[in-house]
């Protein structure tokens, strides 16, 4: 169970980072 | 105690996520740049996040007690590994996206002609590949644990140092003061962690040495080293916790190995570690002599019956040398005169190799304990349970009215055994929250 929590935390970080990176890339350059 | 730990766990998790995402959040809050390709921004954001994770890996592995306690050290190490792999892919995406954006970036791969900023970046990526590859495949590559541990630290330090230099020398995304402050902050945190783990903490350990009192042989190629604290304070630990042992060298050598404390928590002055001869280092333990100076860094880990004082019933399931933390719990419970019902299901390959067999018989009398041996390869006249611990054996010995949550179960052994027993316990009706495990394979 603890291993699953660790994995969930990793996924949460990775997906938030990718979402924020995409947001930065597409919102800050005026491309869309 | 549990609620406090949970609150701290949640606080640390959010703080950690926040620190990792700060570089992108700061970029998001910054001014809008027109004309910059989105792919370039995406590439840089992923690189930044990857590096933030890598810099914080030094916090993860620094064994800060306040940070480790809510999660348990094995959790922190698993997380360290998994998030390290995730960071590897993020960092790798940084140059790959640049190459997709414009093939001219490929010229930066030529280490002889590339500008210094690109050289730093390229070297950092190469070091990262080496760090992750050797960590992931250490077993297959047959790299001894002690040697790997030292080089893992050195390569990771060089890698983060080079990556930070790459950011400062490139400068495109550190144009504003607060962006520079952020990366300077990360650099300071990284250097502070290095100073703490490599100088301050080893110095502290050097001042509190232990002395070997005796080394004795146990069943199953196991050697017990008994050590006495020379500073008089000893080691206050929870039964089931572990400590890092440095023998033959000083704490600065980074040659420590983790072992469970097998002795009773009621005797913090004299601790015992029972170590199975599995590799070059563990085989050497038997050569320790009375009077030798060693260093003990601990306690660590959250695998302890002590954390569940309200448990009505206790179940211990050790496999092979996984019995050591459980011995500490049983010895402590016996010394305290605990009368709660206890079941011990002890898995071993052969009857002859059952470590602490004789002492367990004695503990059976002193505790309200039922002791069951499950032998994988029994002799012909064996009358007990044979094979592996499965749902049938669990249902046979753990009373139905202890299910689903009237018992706390402590499981420690080889990884395949633990995976199988964890599934069998759940299949037998036990609630997942009642299963406590300790997973280590650092021999």
Question: Are B366 and B352 in the same domain?
Answer: yes
Question: Are B15 and B130 in the same domain?
Answer: yes
Looking at residue B321, the DSSP 8-state letter turns out to be G
CA separation for the pair B316, B408 (Å, rounded): 9
Is residue B230 assigned to a domain?
yes
Q: Residue B272 pLDDT > 90, yes or no? A: yes
> How far from the centroid of its chain's Cα atoms is residue B126's Cα?
26
Question: Are B147 and B268 in the same domain?
Answer: no
Q: Looking at chain B, how many residues does it have?
A: 443
Structure tokens at B197: 């783990």
Instruction: Indicate which CATH number applies to the domain containing B24.
Output: 1.20.120
CA separation for the pair B292, B212 (Å, rounded): 5
Question: Are B32 and B128 in the same domain?
Answer: yes
Instruction: Indicate which CATH number applies to the domain containing B369.
Output: 3.40.50.80
Question: Are B238 and B364 in the same domain?
Answer: no
* DSSP annotation string for B148-216: HHHHHHHHHHHHHHHHHHHHHHH-TT--SHHHHHHHHHHHHHHHHHHHIIIIIHHHHHHTS-EEEEEEE
Question: Are B77 and B161 in the same domain?
Answer: yes
> Which regions in chain A score pLDDT beneath 70?
1-2, 29-32
Is residue B443 assigned to a domain?
no
Question: Are B188 and B59 in the same domain?
Answer: yes
Is residue B44 assigned to a domain?
yes
Last residue of a domain, which of B300, B322, B346? B300
Is residue B432 assigned to a domain?
yes
SS3 for B91? helix
Question: Are B266 and B363 in the same domain?
Answer: no
The fraction of chain B above a pLDDT of 90, given in percent, is: 62
Q: Nearest 5°: CA angle at B392, between B386 and B396?
A: 90
List b or e across B403-440, with b for residues whose CB sees 16 or more CB atoms inside 10 angstroms: beebbbbbbbbeeebbebbbebbbebebeeebbbbbbb
- The enclosing H or E element of B78 equals helix B73-101
Q: Does A1 touch chain B (CB under 8 A)?
A: yes
Mean pLDDT of B318-330: 96
B404 preceded by cis ω (within 30°)?
Answer: yes
Interface of A with B in 3-32 (CB under 8 A): 3, 5-7, 9-10, 12-14, 16-18, 20-31
Question: Among A2, A21, A30, whose Cβ lies nearest the Cβ of B42?
Answer: A21
CA separation for the pair B84, B73 (Å, rounded): 16
* Average pLDDT of chain B to the nearest whole number: 90
Provide φ and ψ at B294, rounded to 5°. Answer: -135, 170
Interface of B with A (CB under 8 A): 13, 17, 20-21, 24-25, 27-28, 30, 32-39, 41-42, 45-46, 49, 53, 71-72, 74-75, 78-79, 82-83, 86, 90, 432-433, 435, 437, 439
CB B285 within 8 A of CB B225: yes
Question: Are B54 and B151 in the same domain?
Answer: yes
Mean pLDDT of B417-422: 94
Question: Are B361 and B280 in the same domain?
Answer: no
CA separation for the pair B310, B276 (Å, rounded): 33
Structure tokens at B195: 């100073």
Under 8 Å CB-to-CB from B193, ≥6 apart: which residues?
A: B58, B59, B62
pLDDT tier at B443 (50, 70, 90 boundaries)?
very low
Higher pLDDT, B175 or B18: B18
pLDDT tier at B177 (50, 70, 90 boundaries)?
confident
| Structural domain boundaries enclosing A16 | 1-32
pLDDT at A29: 63
pLDDT at B149: 84
Last residue of a domain, which of B248, B283, B300? B300
pLDDT at A31: 46
Sheet strands (E) in B301-368: 313-318, 342-348
pLDDT at B67: 79
Neighbours of B115 (CB within 10 A): 11
Q: Residue B441 pLDDT > 70, yes or no? A: no
Instruction: Indicate which CATH number applies to the domain containing B294.
Output: 2.40.30.10
Domain count, chain A: 1
SS3 for B315? strand
* DSSP annotation string for A1-32: -HHHHHHHHHHHHHHHHHHHHHHHHHHSS---
Question: Are B123 and B52 in the same domain?
Answer: yes
User: B366-385, pLDDT tens digit by residue?
Assistant: 999 999 999 999 999 999 99
Question: Are B114 and B246 in the same domain?
Answer: no
Domain count, chain B: 3
Last residue of a domain, which of B251, B270, B300? B300
Mean pLDDT of B381-409: 95
User: B206-260, pLDDT tens digit by residue?
Assistant: 998 999 999 999 999 999 999 999 987 789 999 999 999 999 999 888 788 889 9
Q: Residue B442 pLDDT > 50, yes or no? A: no
CA separation for the pair B212, B230 (Å, rounded): 10
| Structural domain boundaries enclosing B426 | 308-438
User: B120-158, pLDDT tens digit by residue?
Assistant: 999 999 999 999 999 999 988 988 887 888 899 899 999
CB B423 within 8 A of CB B397: no
> How far from the centroid of its chain's Cα atoms is residue B228's Cα?
25
pLDDT at A30: 52
Pick the closest to residue B436 from B276, B329, B297 (CA basis): B329
Is residue B356 assigned to a domain?
yes
């Amino acid at each position: 169970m603890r291993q699953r929590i660790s994995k969930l935390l990793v996924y949460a970080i990775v997906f938030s980072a990718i979402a924020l990176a995409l947001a930065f890339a597409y919102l800050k350059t005026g491309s869309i | 105690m549990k609620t406090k730990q949970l609150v701290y766990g949640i606080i640390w998790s959010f703080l950690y996520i926040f620190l990792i995402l700060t570089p992108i959040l700061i970029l998001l809050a910054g001014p809008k740049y027109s004309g910059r390709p989105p792919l370039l921004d995406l590439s840089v954001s992923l690189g930044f996040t990857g590096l933030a994770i890598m810099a914080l890996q030094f916090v993860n592995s620094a064994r800060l007690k306040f940070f480790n306690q809510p999660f348990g050290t094995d959790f922190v190490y698993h997380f360290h590994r998994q998030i390290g792999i995730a960071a590897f892919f993020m960092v790798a995406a940084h140059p790959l996206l640049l190459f997709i954006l414009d093939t001219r970036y490929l010229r930066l791969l030529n280490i002889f002609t590339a500008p210094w900023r690109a050289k730093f970046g390229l070297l950092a990526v190469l070091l990262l590949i080496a760090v992750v590859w050797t960590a992931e495949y250490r077993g297959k590559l047959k790299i001894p644990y002690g040697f790997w541990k030292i080089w893992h630290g050195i390569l990771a330090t060089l890698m983060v140092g080079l990556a930070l230099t790459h950011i400062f020398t490139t400068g495109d995304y550190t144009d504003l003061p607060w962006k520079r402050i952020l990366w300077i902050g990360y650099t300071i945190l990284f250097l502070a962690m290095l100073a703490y783990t490599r100088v301050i903490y080893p110095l502290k350990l050097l001042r509190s040495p232990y002395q070997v009192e005796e080394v004795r042989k146990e069943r199953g190629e196991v050697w017990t080293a008994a050590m006495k604290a020379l500073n008089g304070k000893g080691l206050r630990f929870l039964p089931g916790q572990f400590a890092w042992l440095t023998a033959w060298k000083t704490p600065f050598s980074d040659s420590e190995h983790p072992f469970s404390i097998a002795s009773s928590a009621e005797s913090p002055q004299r601790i015992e570690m029972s170590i199975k001869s599995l590799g070059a280092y563990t085989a050497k333990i038997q050569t320790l002599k009375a009077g030798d100076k060693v260093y003990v860094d601990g306690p660590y880990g959250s695998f302890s019956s002590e954390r569940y004082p309200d448990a009505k019933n206790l179940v211990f399931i050790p496999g092979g040398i996984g019995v050591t933390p459980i011995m500490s719990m049983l010895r402590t419970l016996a010394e305290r005169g605990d009368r709660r019902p206890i079941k011990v299901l002890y898995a071993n390959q052969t009857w002859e190799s059952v470590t602490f067999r004789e002492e367990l018989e004695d503990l059976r009398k002193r505790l309200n304990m039922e002791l069951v041996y499950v032998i994988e390869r029994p002799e012909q006249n064996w009358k007990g349970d044979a094979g592996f611990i499965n749902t049938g054996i669990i249902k046979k010995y753990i009373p139905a009215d202890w299910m689903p949550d009237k018992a706390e179960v402590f499981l420690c052994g080889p990884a395949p055994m633990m995976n199988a027993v964890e599934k069998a316990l759940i299949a037998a009706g036990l609630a997942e929250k009642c299963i406590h495990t300790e997973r280590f394979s650092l021999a």
